[in-house]
Chain A
Amino acid sequence: QQQVKQSPQSLIVQKGGISIINCAYENTAFDYFPWYQQFPGKGPALLIAIRPDVSEKKEGRFTISFNKSAKQFSLHIMDSQPGDSATYFCAASKSPSGSRLTFGEGTQLTVNP
């Protein structure tokens, strides 16, 4: 059973638009929520992460919004660029371990020029 559910499975956005990917989790013990970005032929790489003591974290064009009561979090990519085309994975884990991540199913983002 998937403990972290991610949607949509695929997303097509025009250059300059906003990309939004959503995730929902079940385990209330999760307290670390990272997003990973994966380009074809590469391993995933950490993009941005949040802990539940804040509701939003922004790094450049990337923002995580976190709703603890709803057990949901989302990634917003502002001013999306063709170079953002990749697969995005949300994940969750329980601290203090950095070794166990539970991933969502992934979203393939395509940003058209």
Chain B
Amino acid sequence: EAQVTQNPRYLITVTGKKLTVTCSQNMNHEYMSWYRQDPGLGLRQIYYSMNVEVTDKGDVPEGYKVSRKEKRNFPLILESPSPNQTSLYFCASSKASGRTDTQYFGPGTRLTVL
């Protein structure tokens, strides 16, 4: 089954404790992105990657890091989480071809930073 998976689905942590949220896709997509969803703000892009070893900042990159060492994986790293990073996070992937820009989203990771 074609899908984007994220782990963990739920995470409660404390300020300053480094954490990683994993994302993996099995569709051989070139593009991968991370978004955060907050009430009243919609989804905002944190980072995106257009291929292996190619990453760039989205609209709200502060406090986050990413890496793309393999095509299928795109982990999101919070080196020193703060309470304002409490949010619902989504990973997405899409294919780099033609005029089809459909992004496929994972199920989300709900993060609480105390």
Interface size on A, residues (CB 8 A): 29
Query: Which of B41, B43, B92 gathers most chain A CB within 10 Å?
Result: B43
Q: Are B102 and A46 in contact (CB under 8 A)?
A: yes
Q: Are B105 and A45 in contact (CB under 8 A)?
A: yes
With A98-B94, A99-B31, A99-B48 as contacts: A105 and B42 at CB distance below 8 Å: yes
Total A-B pairs, Cβ < 8 A: 79
Distance A32 CA – B101 CA, assembled complex (angstroms): 8
Which residues of chain B have C-beta atoms less than 8 A from A41's C-beta?
107-108
Is the C-beta of A66 less than 8 angstroms from some C-beta in chain B? Answer: no
Contact for A42 among B42, B95, B103, B107, CB less than 8 A: B107
Is the C-beta of B45 less than 8 angstroms from some C-beta in chain A? Answer: yes
| Residues of A44-95 contacting chain B, CB below 8 A | 44-46, 49, 51, 89, 93, 95
Is the C-beta of A28 less than 8 angstroms from some C-beta in chain B? Answer: no
With A32-B101, A51-B99, A98-B100 as contacts: A43 and B4 at CB distance below 8 Å: yes
Q: Are A100 and B45 in contact (CB under 8 A)?
A: yes
Is the C-beta of B11 less than 8 angstroms from some C-beta in chain A? Answer: no
B interface bracket (residues with beta carbon within 8 Å of A): 20 to 34
Contact for A43 among B49, B94, B106, CB less than 8 A: B106
Contact with B along A1-39 (1 / 0, CB 8 A): 010101001000000000000000000000010101000
Q: Are B44 and A43 in contact (CB under 8 A)?
A: no
Q: Are B31 and A103 in contact (CB under 8 A)?
A: no
A54 nearest CB across to chain B (Å): 13
Distance A12 CA – B79 CA, assembled complex (angstroms): 42
Which residues of chain A have C-beta atoms less than 8 A from B41's C-beta?
2, 105
Which residues of chain A have C-beta atoms less than 8 A from B96's C-beta?
96-99
Q: Are B103 and A101 in contact (CB under 8 A)?
A: yes
Q: Are A43 and B48 in contact (CB under 8 A)?
A: no
Q: Are A44 and B48 in contact (CB under 8 A)?
A: no
Which residues of chain A have C-beta atoms less than 8 A from B58's C-beta?
100
Query: Residues of A with Cβ closer than 8 Å to B?
Result: 2, 4, 6, 9, 32, 34, 36, 41-46, 49, 51, 89, 93, 95-106
